């Protein structure tokens, strides 16, 4: 007996977050209906009430980075959305998307040609995961990785020209890329996200 397709809408801050959201929905057995990619956290917050209204009738997964805005994920959720819709999954990434990607240390080390020992065992404890990734890829054995991801001297930028593209490639690569289930063992906020997503898939609105 074929399973009825389960569609999920999503919303994120930017392109790399979209890649991760699509990957975890695929991993959980859902199908993406649409993903709203906002231009940063402020825009995502402004749009959230509309998504939450839609979550009374359809499944939604919204990812937002905790960064250093609040001491914990619960504080951000309470501030952003005190009363979530019945089919809303607002999940807080602790502290930023890079922490979830680093949590699959084996694949990250192979994909970016860095030492596995350079990757922190508890990536969600890193105050600034983006800076941590830059520091780690400085030790890459592949020159192209460093050229793409490390900011050029005098550029005034935090990251290199293809930093986001490289993360998206890692998050979505079908055979050598990121594994959400493996990463969840070292990223508690990701584990909670997968649990909530599985609940939404199994207990969504009737007829969808």
Output the six-digit token pair for 3. 């399973």
Q: What percent of the chain has pLDDT over 70?
A: 98
C-alpha 171/C-alpha 92 separation (Å) is: 18
**Whole-number pLDDT of residue 1:** 44
C-alpha 203/C-alpha 139 separation (Å) is: 45
Instruction: Show Cβ contacts of residue 49 under 8 Å, excluding neighbours closer than 6 positions.
Output: none
pLDDT digit string, tens, across residues 7-42: 999 999 999 999 999 999 999 999 999 999 999 999
Spell out a b/e string for 38-54, using b for 16 or more CB atoms within 10 Å of the CB, else e. beebeebbeebeebbeb
> Helix 188-202 and helix 15-28: axis angle, to 10°?
60
pLDDT digit string, tens, across residues 60-79: 999 999 999 999 999 999 99
**Whole-number pLDDT of residue 129:** 97
C-alpha 137/C-alpha 96 separation (Å) is: 17
Closest CA to 104 of 121, 91, 126: 121
- Dihedral of CA 75/79/85/91: which sign? negative
Q: Are 27 and 180 in contact (CB under 8 A)?
A: yes
Instruction: Show Cβ contacts of residue 206 under 8 Å, excluding neighbours closer than 6 positions.
Output: none
Looking at residues 159-175, what average pLDDT do you find?
Answer: 97
Structural domains for the chain: 7-94+187-202 (3.40.50), 99-181 (no CATH)
Q: Give the SS3 label for residue 170.
A: helix
pLDDT digit string, tens, across residues 120-166: 999 999 999 999 999 999 999 999 999 999 999 999 999 999 999 99
Per the confidence metrics, is the pTM higher than 0.85?
A: yes
């Amino acid at each position: 007996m074929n399973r009825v397709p389960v569609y999920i809408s999503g919303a994120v801050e930017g392109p790399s977050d979209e890649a991760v959201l699509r990957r975890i929905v695929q991993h959980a057995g859902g199908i993406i209906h649409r993903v709203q990619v906002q231009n940063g956290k402020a825009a995502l917050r402004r749009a959230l009430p509309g998504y939450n209204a839609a979550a009374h009738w359809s499944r939604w997964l919204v990812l937002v980075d905790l960064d250093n805005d609040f001491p914990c994920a619960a504080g951000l959720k309470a501030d952003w959305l005190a009363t979530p819709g019945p089919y809303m999954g607002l999940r807080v990434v602790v502290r930023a998307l890079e922490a979830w990607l680093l949590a699959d240390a084996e694949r990250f080390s192979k994909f970016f040609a860095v030492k596995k020992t350079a990757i922190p065992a508890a990536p969600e404890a890193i105050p600034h995961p983006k800076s941590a990734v830059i520091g780690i890829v400085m030790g890459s054995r592949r020159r192209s990785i460093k050229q793409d991801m490390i900011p050029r001297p005098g550029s005034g930028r935090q990251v290199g020209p293809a930093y986001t593209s490289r993360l998206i490639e890692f998050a979505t690569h079908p055979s050598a890329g990121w594994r959400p289930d493996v990463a969840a063992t070292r990223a508690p906020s990701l584990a909670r996200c997968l649990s909530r997503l599985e609940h939404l898939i199994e207990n969504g609105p009737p007829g969808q």
